[in-house]
A = this chain, B = another copy of it.
Amino acid sequence: MKALVLAGGSGTRFWPLSRQLRPKQLLALEGDRSLLQATVDRLQPLVEPQSVWVCTTRALADAVRRQLPEVPPEQVLAEPMGRNTAPAIGWSLRSMPEEARAGVVAVLPADHRVADAAAFRDALERAARAVEMDDLVMTLGVVPRWAETGYGYLELGEGLGASDGGVRRVARFVEKPDAEAAARFLASGNHLWNAGIFVFRGTMLLAHLARLQPELARGLEAIAADPSRVDALYAGLPADSIDYAVMEKLAATGDGAAAVGTVPLDCGWSDLGSWAALAEVLPKDAGGNAGRGAVGAIVAVDAGGNVLVSDGGEGVVAVLGVHDLVVVRTADAVLVCPKERAQEVKRLVAELALAGREDLL
């Protein structure tokens, strides 16, 4: 199996720790390894680093190569610019050697968390068998642990294929639900979280792209024909997600020969979508404060339920009498907001951009 790791993200949800040139996937939010490194680590021994491709942006390519010295540097592919996941996956597959993309390829976001790597690899293997035996396009669906409204869902259909791996048809890709629908999904047992993890034969995915997204496919062919024109051509590719461009359409129209299948994944997965999501997986003190920082870098008195992060140097985060806050210290910035509003951190980043503080973005 080959792996294609998507590492071009540039989100602001972990500001001030994340910056334009140090986005989430390059950060070590737990432990010592960055999310990108952990993504590659957990594939072994199923996929060795020599079989890993990484799609990132030009601005990040050097940093990615430094973080992944065991991945051949020419397999770190640098997009001229971010154009969403359909161009990234299509262009990366076209950039891989033909024999690589003719095999089974797993597409993995670089910025997710997995607690149980063995369970994760097991699900990948079951998906790979379904690809090989039944020519399916597979996606891993996470067994929901609560009625999350921040994720999309996969609605399950009938059993599929001969691989005997518990594969179910994806009847429908469901957008982020409201709280009532999310509760219904959780109770039904018939929905999985859409984790954006796919397993397919590369050549087959490109064939689906050619059929479903002819404009994108023509652009990719033009780039392949004259790579020197990549900057101009890439900027013109339709910037759609792979879900929208291919998966939802396959699920809606696919017959037995072009269906999307899924296997359930139960491995302590999180997309670490915000400081609040990180809090759920960090170690906690007696007061329920989730902390990240050197020993002695966090002091909490009469404080509970906070996320306390101290990064850079010998400094300290000291809190007294506060609850359910996010407090993040870096060498040059401090963030304070309620945990329940951690999704809005981008508003602060936008303010800083307006104020001309490029040094902090």
Binding site for B on A (CB under 8 A): 16, 296, 299, 301, 310, 313-322, 325, 327, 329, 331-338, 341, 344-345, 347-348, 351-352, 355-357, 359-360
Contact = CB atoms under 8 A, between A and B. Distances in A.
Given A296-B355, A320-B341, A336-B327, A348 B313 contact: no
A315 B334 CA distance: 8
A334 B318 contact: yes
A165 B26 CA distance: 72
Contacts of A310: 334
Contact of A347 (B296, B301, B327, B347): B301
5 contacts: A296-B357, A301-B351, A314-B332, A320-B345, A325-B336
Nearest to A332: B315
Contacts of A327: 334, 336
Contacts of A356: 296
Most chain B beta-carbon contacts within 10 A, residue among A317, A320, A360: A320
B336 A322 contact: yes
Contacts of A296: 355-357
A328 to B, nearest CB: 9
A348 B301 contact: yes
Given A321-B341, A336-B327, A316 B357 contact: yes
B319 A352 contact: no
A34 to B, nearest CB: 24
Q: Is the interface of A mostly helix, strand, loop or mixed?
A: mixed
A296 B353 CA distance: 11
B351 A332 contact: no
A359 B318 contact: no
Contacts of A318: 16, 333-336, 348, 351-352
A332 B319 CA distance: 14
A322 B301 contact: no
Q: Which 6 A-B pairs have the closest CB atoms?
A: A320-B337, A315-B332, A321-B341, A329-B334, A318-B348, A319-B336
A262 B320 CA distance: 40
Most chain B beta-carbon contacts within 10 A, residue among A299, A337, A344: A299
Given A315-B331, A316-B334, A318-B335, 15 more contacts: A296-B356, A299-B351, A314-B332, A314-B359, A315-B332, A316-B357, A318-B351, A318-B352, A319-B336, A320-B335, A320-B338, A320-B344, A320-B347, A321-B338, A322-B325
Contacts of A316: 16, 332-334, 352, 357, 360
